[in-house]
Structures are given as structure tokens and as C-alpha cells.
Amino acid sequence: MVVLFAATPASARSIHDPDIGWSPALRRSLDLPALRVAPCRARTTKAKIRLQSRVADREPSLRGILRYGEADVWGSSWYTNCDGGRLQIGIAGGAPAVTTRRIVRTLRRALDRRGLTRDVRLVAVRSTYKQLDTQADAVEAIVPGQLEAGNLSTSIDTVRNAVEIEAYNTLPATDVQKLRAFARDAPVNVVVHVEPPADPGAPVPTYEASVTIDRRAVRRGSRQLPVSVDDATCFADESYDSAQRFVGVRVRRARHAWILAARFRVNPDWPRFSTCVGSNDPRLTVKTTVTLPSALGRRGIVDGTKDSGTSRGVILEPVGATAIRSLVPRFTYTGATCDQSAVRRAFRGRSKSTWCFL
């Protein structure tokens, strides 16, 4: 269940309202589009990666104009594939109109000097990042002790310009009502997610794990691939029972690569959040042999976990420069694979940040 709240009771609107906190006339005069809150399903492309690489090094100076100038109107920033990969910069609407106009003009001049006018989109948002952060911190006082007990969590969704509260099914109903009231009265957008009651008959949930290989053990003519599966997440506690909870490794075929997706079962006796003590202990690594549908051949290997940025990581490159390049941008080279001579030759002349996740 998701509960959406945005404004004070006197003028309560959905977070989908594009003009919350903004005069429609002012927003139009500054040519600031409304915040897009619908999920973006567009895929990453090479052109989008190149654009983001151009912008990345210059973003901090743009933040300073919005956060430390005449007024704090910094509504954070984010990239979206639904606008050609452009950097979106949120402009909060709380400052006086005259001040807001000056700040937007200053920022646009700075973008023009840096040659970034076409790469950055200014977007009207309701709240500054500082305002969102303040309200996220205020949740602890509403339901004392529940954050520490792991019965809820808070975060800031910059794309929706909102505070997000995850209320788990262990949180008492009276505290859920307190959070809903807080969301209704908050001076910023607040989204409350309420987890449904636990189903005792439901299967034990699983979670992703990272796969690594020993390149020296790889035989391209064989279907057998020795791998190590690392249970180095906060689900792992001091019981070191990873081997007993290991589900297995699923293999999928991609163009020029095999994708390996490993999973562990959750121990239902664990608290929702663990201290991660011992997360580097060797007992949290399971060694196994994966049987591929056919011989490895000229294909590469991709770690199917989503933890490496927004793309899954290539842990063994395919054979041939064309095949190596073809895995980007759907996948990203990672770790020592980035430094393999064949990989470096294939991407010669291209910025490393466009194909390697460090």
C-alpha cells in the first residue's frame, strides 16, 4: 500500500501536481518544465553515457550557484533516460520571485559558458534538498525508537522531490497512523509505503549475491565454470550459514555473454537490518561450479547482480574487439576486467567512465 501526501491540509494535493510551491505564471515565464514523477522505462544508450560523462565533472559548481547564492533553491539533481540522459536540476519555488529569476538567469549563463545548455534541464520542484532532509530527520521524533528497531526506514527520492517512508509490517498500527498524519501536515512531499501483513505460508524470500571468477580456472572449451558467490550484504550476520542458504546460480544467454545470477535464501530469524559484522569473512563465500548451457567459447561472463551502478558488471570479457564493445551500455566492465589489454584496446580513445565501473 502506498499513501501519497504533499501539502498542508488546507491545500492538500498529490505530489503529481506540477505547480505545488510554484506560481504557474512564474514557472512558465522561466520556461521551467514540471517535475516528471512517472517511472522512466527508457534504456541507457551510448549517447546518454557520453552526455553524462561530459556533465559529471562540472555539476558541483552548478550546485554552488543554487545552494550558496542569494537563496537556497537547490532541489538536488539526477539523470533520466527519459530526457535523452540529460542532467535534471531541481529549482525549488520557495524564494521570492525576483530572487528566483536572478538565480535562474545566473545558472543559465553558467551553463552557456560551460557549453552545457543542451545537456542540462532545469526543472521546477517544490522543496529544497535541505528541506527534504530536515523532514526525513523529523520522523524519529514522530515514532521514537522505531527507526533504530528496524520497523521503518526513511530516504529522499530526489526524482520525485519527496521524503519516502517505508513502514514495515512490524510497525504498530497506531504508529502507522502517526506517520500518515505527519505526511499530511509536512511542508514537503511525503510518500508513505505500508508493507502488507506477513503471510506465514509465503515462500522464504531470496536476495541477490555477487559472482566472481578466477580467470586462471576458466576453460573456454568447457561448459564447467568454477565461480565464487559472495554473501557480503547486510543480510549476512554472525551465524555464517551462507552455504546452507545458498539457492544456486541461474544462467541466461545474452549476445556475446552468459549472465550469472546467484541468490541466497533469507534467514527469517534475522532482524530486518544487520550490523554487517563479519561481512568479509571467508565463511560468507560459497564456491561452486556452474554448468553453462554450452561451452563458454568466445562469450564473456556477466555478474547478474544489480549492485554495480545501474548496469550489471562484466567479469570476463568476450573474445574480439567488436564483441567487447557490444556489451556496453547494457553492461559495464568492472574491476580488474577494465584493465585487461584486450578491453583497453577495444575502447581506445573513449573515456574510461563510459565503459568501466570502478
Question: Which pLDDT score, from 0 to 100, does residue 69 have?
Answer: 64
Question: Which pLDDT score, from 0 to 100, does residue 47 have?
Answer: 87
- Highest mean pLDDT pick, 89-103, 211-225, 265-279: 211-225
Per-residue pLDDT band at 71 (split at 50, 70, 90): confident
For residues 150 and 148, what is the distance between their CA atoms, to the nearest angstrom?
Answer: 5
DSSP of 195-246: PPPP-TTSPPPEEEEEEE--GGG--TT-SEEEEEEE--STT--TT--HHHHE
- Residue 37 in this model has a pLDDT that exceeds 90: no
Question: Which pLDDT score, from 0 to 100, does residue 332 have?
Answer: 92
Residue 329, preceding bond cis, omega within 30 degrees?
yes
Per-residue pLDDT band at 135 (split at 50, 70, 90): very high
Q: Could you read off the pLDDT of 171-219 as tens digits, one per residue?
A: 999 999 999 999 999 999 999 999 988 788 888 888 888 899 999 999 9
- Residue 277 in this model has a pLDDT that exceeds 70: no
Per-residue pLDDT band at 10 (split at 50, 70, 90): very low
- Residue 309 in this model has a pLDDT that exceeds 50: no
Mean local confidence (pLDDT), 339-344: 96
- Residue 1 in this model has a pLDDT that exceeds 70: no
- Residue 347 in this model has a pLDDT that exceeds 50: yes
Chain CA centroid to CA 273, Å: 19
Q: What CA–CA distances, in Å, run from 79 to 53, 131, 136, 242, 269?
A: 11, 21, 23, 36, 38
- Residue 19 in this model has a pLDDT that exceeds 90: no
- Residue 279 in this model has a pLDDT that exceeds 70: no
- Residue 13 in this model has a pLDDT that exceeds 60: no
**% of the chain beyond a pLDDT of 90:** 51
CA geometry: angle 290, 292, 293, nearest 5 deg? 145
> Out of 1.25.40, 3.30.200, 3.40.50, 3.30.70, which CATH number does the structure's domain 129-194 have?
3.30.70
Tell the residue number behind the cell numbers 525576483, with chain if given: 98
Cβ–Cβ under 8 Å, residues 337 and 315? yes
C-alpha cell at 105: 538567469
The mean of the pLDDT values for the chain is 85
**Helix, strand, coil percentages in the chain from 3-state DSSP, rounded to 5:** 30, 25, 45
Question: Which pLDDT score, from 0 to 100, does residue 348 have?
Answer: 94
- Residue 6 in this model has a pLDDT that exceeds 80: no
CA geometry: angle 335, 358, 282, nearest 5 deg? 50
C-alpha cell at 297: 567459447
pTM for this structure? 0.64
Question: Which pLDDT score, from 0 to 100, does residue 12 have?
Answer: 40
Question: Which pLDDT score, from 0 to 100, does residue 51 have?
Answer: 87
Question: Which pLDDT score, from 0 to 100, does residue 327 have?
Answer: 95
The domain segmentation of the chain, as residue ranges, is 21-125, 129-194, 206-357
Name the residue with higher pLDDT: 230 or 57. Answer: 230
Of 9-13, 203-207, 259-263, least confident by mean pLDDT is 9-13
Phi, psi of 146 (to 5 degrees): -75, -30
Question: Which pLDDT score, from 0 to 100, does residue 101 have?
Answer: 93
- Residue 259 in this model has a pLDDT that exceeds 90: yes
- Residue 314 in this model has a pLDDT that exceeds 60: yes
Question: Which pLDDT score, from 0 to 100, does residue 60 have?
Answer: 62
For residues 19 and 17, what is the distance between their CA atoms, to the nearest angstrom?
Answer: 6
Mean local confidence (pLDDT), 101-127: 90
Mean local confidence (pLDDT), 285-308: 90
Mean local confidence (pLDDT), 250-255: 94
